């Protein structure tokens, strides 16, 4: 048996794997091969993974799967329109990376409370 192919044990494991793969190629230049690979992953989500999720009968997982399918379709539309994709998939949803990051400083004033503040 070949170790090339990964066989997930359940739906959540399959979704996490596809999410990880998506986050690896989301900024790559769009080629026919990448689009075919992406469409294959999307088809997997909509096909056998979706059927298995229905069989497991987990409502939250079905909702996450629906969000993930929409996210994959959104990526295709954006990239086929030759637009840059600014985001990543987290918890099976697309999240934008436009927010500024603020450093947190712990202020310890009279006592052992951890008051976190960010200086803008």
Domain ranges across the chain: 11-96
Per-residue pLDDT of 49-64, as tens digits, reads: 899 889 988 889 999 9
Rounded-to-integer distance, Cα 87 and Cα 5, Å: 28
* 8 A C-beta contact, residue 80 and residue 39: no
* 8 A C-beta contact, residue 42 and residue 76: yes
**Residue 105: what pLDDT?**
65
**Residue 92: what pLDDT?**
86
**Residue 1: what pLDDT?**
47
**Residue 102: what pLDDT?**
72
What is the mean pLDDT for each group of 10 consecutive residues in the chain (120 residues)? 69 91 91 93 90 88 92 91 87 79 64 55
Per-residue pLDDT of 90-105, as tens digits, reads: 888 888 877 677 776 6
Angle at alpha carbon of residue 91, lines to 87 and 95, rounded to 5°: 20
Rounded-to-integer distance, Cα 44 and Cα 46, Å: 5
């Amino acid at each position: 048996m070949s170790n090339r192919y990964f066989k997930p044990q359940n739906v959540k494991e399959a979704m996490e794997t596809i999410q990880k793969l998506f986050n690896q190629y989301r900024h790559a230049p769009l080629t026919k091969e990448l689009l075919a690979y992406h469409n294959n992953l999307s088809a997997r989500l909509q096909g056998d993974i979706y059927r298995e999720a229905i069989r497991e009968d987990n409502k939250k997982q079905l909702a996450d799967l629906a969000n993930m399918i929409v996210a994959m379709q959104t990526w295709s539309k954006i990239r086929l329109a030759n637009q840059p994709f600014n985001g990543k998939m987290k918890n099976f949803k697309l999240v934008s990376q436009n927010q500024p990051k603020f450093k947190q400083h712990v202020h310890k004033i009279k006592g052992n409370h951890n008051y976190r503040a960010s200086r803008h």
